[in-house]
């Protein structure tokens, strides 16, 4: 018999904001670090940061780990937009130049965003695989005790 879906008001059915925020914070650091770099380095930074951010969001979540990883992806881009907005205010007040909100062309940005989403989801699915209760299909094997 297939497991029942969680009730809509159960903790496993909700999106946990703290899990999304932690994953988004980690992913946004990689997004900001790779923004001014060349294309391969930007994709490598996104792979590392969004994979880790999705994994952390999934590990912290009580359920729906892939949804939490997608939320972390969105939170990372929101945090990046806030950072760029604050940098533009500082730039207007005579500070250093602000980074671009969309580095490169819009097409490059879209490819990088989809790449980041795929890696965040992969991180969330990895967390789901590691935290699956023993005995379910796809769960890690139990260690054999002697």
38-51 pLDDT, tens digit per residue, is: 888 988 998 999 99
pLDDT of residue 125: 93
Q: Which residues lie closer than 8 Å to 92 by C-beta, 6 or more apart?
A: none
Question: What's the average model confidence in pLDDT over 2-14?
Answer: 57
In this model, does residue 10 exceed pLDDT 70? Answer: no
How many Å apart are CA 28 and CA 21, to the nearest integer? 10
How many Å apart are CA 43 and CA 38, to the nearest integer? 9
How many Å apart are CA 113 and CA 2, to the nearest integer? 35
- The residue among 84 and 135 whose pLDDT is bigger is 84
pTM of the model as a whole = 0.80
Confidence of residue 135 (pLDDT cuts 50, 70, 90): low
In the chain, DSSP assigns E strands to none
Query: With pLDDT > 70 as the criterion, what percentage of the chain qualifies?
Result: 82
How far apart are the two ends of the chain, measured CA to CA in Å?
Answer: 32
Query: With pLDDT > 90 as the criterion, what percentage of the chain qualifies?
Result: 51
- The residue among 114 and 136 whose pLDDT is bigger is 114
Would you state the structure tokens that stand for residue 1, as one six-digit string?
Answer: 């018999």
Range of lowest pLDDT (6-20, 50-64, 102-116) = 6-20
Please, are residues 55 and 129 in contact by the beta-carbon 8 Å criterion?
no
Q: State the chain's mean pLDDT as an integer.
A: 85
Single out the residue of 5, 133, 146 nearest to residue 64, CA to CA.
5
């Amino acid at each position: 018999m297939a497991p029942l879906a969680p009730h809509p008001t159960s903790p496993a059915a909700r999106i946990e904001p703290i899990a999304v925020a932690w994953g988004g914070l980690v992913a946004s650091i990689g997004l900001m670090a790779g923004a001014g770099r060349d294309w391969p380095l930007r994709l490598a930074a996104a792979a590392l940061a969004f994979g880790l951010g999705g994994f952390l969001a999934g590990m912290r979540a009580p359920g729906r780990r892939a949804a939490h990883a997608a939320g972390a992806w969105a939170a990372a881009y929101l945090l990046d937009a806030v950072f760029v907005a604050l940098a533009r205010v500082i730039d207007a007040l005579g500070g250093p130049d602000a980074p671009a909100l969309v580095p490169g062309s819009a097409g490059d940005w879209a490819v990088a965003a989809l790449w980041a989403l795929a890696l965040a989801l992969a991180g969330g699915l990895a967390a789901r695989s590691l935290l699956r209760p023993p005995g379910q299909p796809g769960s890690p094997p139990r260690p054999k005790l002697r």
